């Protein structure tokens, strides 16, 4: 099968040649001087020769799979869907159920899993027959499959790198270079992406994100042309784009500036009235303050002021905030949770509202770490940026967070209102024009997060907190995270202290995990003591943690203290919840039912059930399926140590939890 003109240009000509050329803009393409070990060409395990057969996959136009310049793209529709899905979610595990849903929808056949395995075998055979080692490229995982691609093996990654370079050139004032690079990027998109692939919800969602990325690249090209004085040339293109995107303020602002600079001030004012009417009639909102100011300056024929406003607008539009915390290198396990949460966070193309997800669980179960990992997995879908705030369990005011968000989006201090409601309105206006990912970590209440939400369809908000704090938030999907299993705890500990140190010590590690109530935050404390020499071995750590009276003190290192983890949950309990824990500790009970707690506390059965549910949600109690009786709960040893510590008169902790 021959190559298309675009594929020849990419694989055998200009774009692919830039992979080795020194005149490549920036650091996009890997050369001998900047190649890292992880970026090394593929090595044939049979011959030991590297870099013989380059692999290229295209999703920006019709699907293509190219190996060594030869098109080996299969024709079977479902196999093409699988390749597209794996490529769009490259370098991460795609669950079997996700692939099944993508291929067959909500009503898969009974044989779907077996048929999927057959398709994967066919894909492996295609890769192998092309001269590549399929075991290095298509990985089988316990819950699904992973397609491993390098930084120059998918055209979408090359495209996005070029766009990032163009944005950087604009920020540095290198307008000619920006125009050259972004034009090369857009030349990679001659047709609609994957227009020959039948996709499901995931592919359709990714295609929406690609379309947004292409539009952003078009905006950057127009911006560069505006700066270079090509005003007449861009007016016609902008008119078409504004008709296609009637609520897009940035495009309308650029059209207003282009018309004003070509002496068509009245036409520029008509453009403003058109978008104002669109926003008010369809969305019930006014144009942003910046667009209103631009209209006012054009109206008064203040050319210098128009230039100042345009400059501020350009600066803001070239900024894409990237505020996510760094990814956690030793994060391990949770593959199923990563896949499930990633699917929940995928925007629905048919919805008129943003995607909002609450990630709930008791303190210390690893909500923040999972949230950061998943956000890094999906961040590339949000070309306008990612915003992050630690809400401190309710201690950080939304007013402060909005100020940081708006400054991160490029607003100057004098442009940010002093009133909370006005800040929230400005934030909604900005996010209403930008598809962003927002991570609100450690939220303390539903009221705290409401002013920080966007209204833009296609945007995603992930909120972490306890069920009591953020459960039931209007319009939000819910995902509950439980503590990891014992085996997962062993893997977590191994990732932090090293595989060599764990060799032959798995049973000891399980004892440590039990003493830590399987809480990742407690395991991190143990790992820190092991890596700094406080504990000389896993055996010593297990022995010292085995003492119930010393366990709380052992789980304390630097700024980490397991008491504070439990204190966060204890603060959320009402008086009845605290009373129940105290009565259990005083009575020295190892298990509890609603009948027994009602007797101890003088409550009705209904009151007791409510309190026990609250305590279970915060992991102070754990339900027991069998052996004690239906509706029974036990108090984990580490929780008992915490309650005993409170009752023994540790005034600092008592004050910290508000008793």
Which segment of 310-314, 559-563, 619-623 scores lowest on mean pLDDT?
Answer: 310-314
- The per-residue pLDDT for 153 is 92
Q: How confident is the model over 593-601, as a mean pLDDT?
A: 87
123 three-class SS: helix
Nearest to 58 by CA among 86, 19, 87, 38: 87
- Confidence tier at 650 by pLDDT (50, 70, 90): very low
Q: Encode burial over 380-392: b for 16+ CB neighbours within 10 A, e otherwise.
A: bbbbbbbbbbbbe
Starting from the edge strand earliest in sequence, which strands make up the sheet with 591-593, in order? 591-593, 632-634, 622-624
Q: At which residue do the structure tokens 């940010």 appear?
A: 416
Q: How far is CA 78 from CA 73, 102, 144, 647, in A?
A: 12, 9, 17, 63
pLDDT in the model for residue 377: 84
The answer, yes or no, to whether residue 315 has pLDDT greater than 60, is no
What pTM value is reported for the model? Answer: 0.60
Higher pLDDT, 309 or 523: 523
Count how many Cα atoms sit within 13 Å of the Cα of residue 329 in the half-sphere of its side chain: 3
With 0-12 CB in 10 A as exposed, 13-18 as middle and 19+ as buried, what is 474? exposed
Give the confidence band of 625 by pLDDT, cuts at 50, 70, 90.
low
Report how far residue 29's alpha carbon sits from residue 150's, in angstroms, rounded to the nearest whole number: 11
Q: 585: part of which helix (H) or strand (E)?
A: helix 575-587
**65 strand-pairing partners:** 57
Q: What are the residue ranges of helices labelled H in 498-561? A: 499-502, 506-515, 520-531, 538-545, 551-554
Cα 9 from Cα 345, distance rounded (Å): 36
Which residues fall within 8 angstroms of residue 85, CB to CB, at 6 or more apart? 94, 98, 99, 102, 199, 202, 203
Distance CA 316, CA 311 (A): 9
Average pLDDT of the chain is: 81
| 20-75 pLDDT per residue, tens | 332 333 333 333 333 333 333 444 433 333 444 789 999 999 999 999 889 999 99
| pLDDT band of 441, cuts 50, 70, 90 | very high
pLDDT of residue 622: 83
């Amino acid at each position: 099968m021959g190559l298309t003109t675009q594929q020849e240009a990419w694989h055998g000509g200009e774009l692919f040649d830039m992979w080795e050329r020194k005149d490549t803009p920036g650091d996009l393409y890997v050369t001998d001087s900047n190649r890292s070990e992880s970026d090394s060409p593929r090595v044939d395990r049979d011959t030991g020769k590297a870099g013989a057969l380059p692999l290229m996959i295209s999703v920006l136009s019709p699907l293509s799979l190219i190996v060594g310049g030869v098109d080996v793209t299969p024709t079977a529709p479902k196999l093409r869907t699988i390749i597209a899905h794996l490529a769009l979610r490259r370098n991460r595990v795609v669950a079997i159920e996700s692939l099944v849903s993508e291929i067959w929808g909500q009503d898969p056949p009974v044989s779907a899993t077996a048929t999927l395995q057959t398709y994967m075998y066919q894909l492996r055979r295609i890769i192998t027959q092309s001269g590549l080692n399929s075991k290095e490229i298509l990985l089988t995982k316990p819950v699904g499959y992973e397609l491993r691609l390098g930084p120059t093996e998918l055209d979408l990654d090359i495209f996005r790198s070029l766009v990032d370079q163009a944005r950087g050139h604009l920020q540095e004032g290198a307008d000619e270079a920006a125009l050259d690079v972004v034009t090369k990027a857009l030349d990679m998109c001659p047709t609609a992406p994957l227009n020959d692939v039948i996709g499901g919800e995931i592919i359709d969602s990714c295609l929406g994100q690609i379309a947004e990325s292409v539009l952003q690249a078009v905006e950057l090209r127009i911006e560069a042309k505006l700066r270079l004085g090509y005003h007449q040339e861009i007016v016609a293109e902008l008119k078409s784009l504004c008709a296609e995107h009637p609520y897009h303020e940035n495009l309308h602002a650029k059209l207003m500036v282009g018309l004003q600079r070509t002496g068509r001030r009245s036409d520029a004012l008509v453009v403003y009235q058109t978008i104002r009417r669109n926003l008010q009639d369809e969305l019930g909102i006014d144009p942003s303050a910046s667009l209103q100011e631009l209209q006012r300056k054009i109206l008064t024929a203040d050319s210098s002021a128009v230039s100042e406003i345009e400059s501020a607008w350009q600066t803001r539009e070239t900024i894409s905030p990237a505020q996510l915390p760094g990814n956690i290198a030793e994060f391990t396990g949770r593959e199923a949770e990563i896949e499930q949460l990633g699917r929940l966070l995928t925007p629905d193309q048919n919805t008129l509202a943003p995607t909002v997800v609450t990630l709930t669980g008791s303190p210390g179960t690893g909500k923040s770490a999972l949230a950061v990992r998943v956000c890094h997995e999906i961040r590339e879908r949000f070309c306008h940026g990612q915003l992050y705030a630690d809400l401190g369990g309710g201690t950080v005011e939304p007013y402060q967070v909005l100020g940081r968000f708006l400054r991160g989006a490029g607003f100057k201090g004098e442009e940010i209102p002093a009133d909370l409601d006005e800040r929230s309105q400005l934030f909604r206006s900005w996010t209403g024009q930008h598809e962003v990912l927002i991570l609100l970590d450690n939220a303390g209440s539903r009221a705290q997060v409401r002013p920080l939400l966007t209204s833009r369809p296609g945007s995603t908000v992930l909120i972490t907190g306890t069920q009591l704090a953020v459960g039931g938030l209007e319009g939000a999907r819910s995902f509950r995270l439980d503590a990891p299993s014992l085996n997962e705890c062993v893997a977590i500990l191994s990732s932090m202290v090293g595989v060599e140190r764990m060799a032959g010590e798995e049973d000891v590690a399980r004892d440590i995990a039990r003493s830590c109530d399987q809480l990742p935050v407690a395991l991190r404390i143990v790992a820190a003591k092991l890596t700094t020499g406080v504990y000389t071995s896993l055996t010593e750590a297990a022995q010292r943690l085995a003492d119930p009276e010393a366990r709380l003190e052992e789980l304390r290192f630097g700024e980490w203290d397991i008491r504070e983890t439990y204190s966060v949950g204890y603060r959320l309990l009402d008086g009845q919840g605290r009373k129940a824990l105290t009565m259990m500790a005083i009575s020295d009970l190892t298990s509890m039912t609603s009948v027994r707690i009602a007797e101890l506390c003088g409550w009705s059965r209904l009151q007791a059930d409510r309190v026990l549910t609250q305590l279970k949600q915060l992991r102070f109690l754990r339900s027991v399926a069998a052996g004690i009786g239906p509706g029974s709960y036990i108090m984990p040893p580490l929780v008992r140590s915490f309650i005993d510590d409170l009752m023994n008169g540790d005034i600092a902790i008592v004050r910290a939890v508000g008793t």
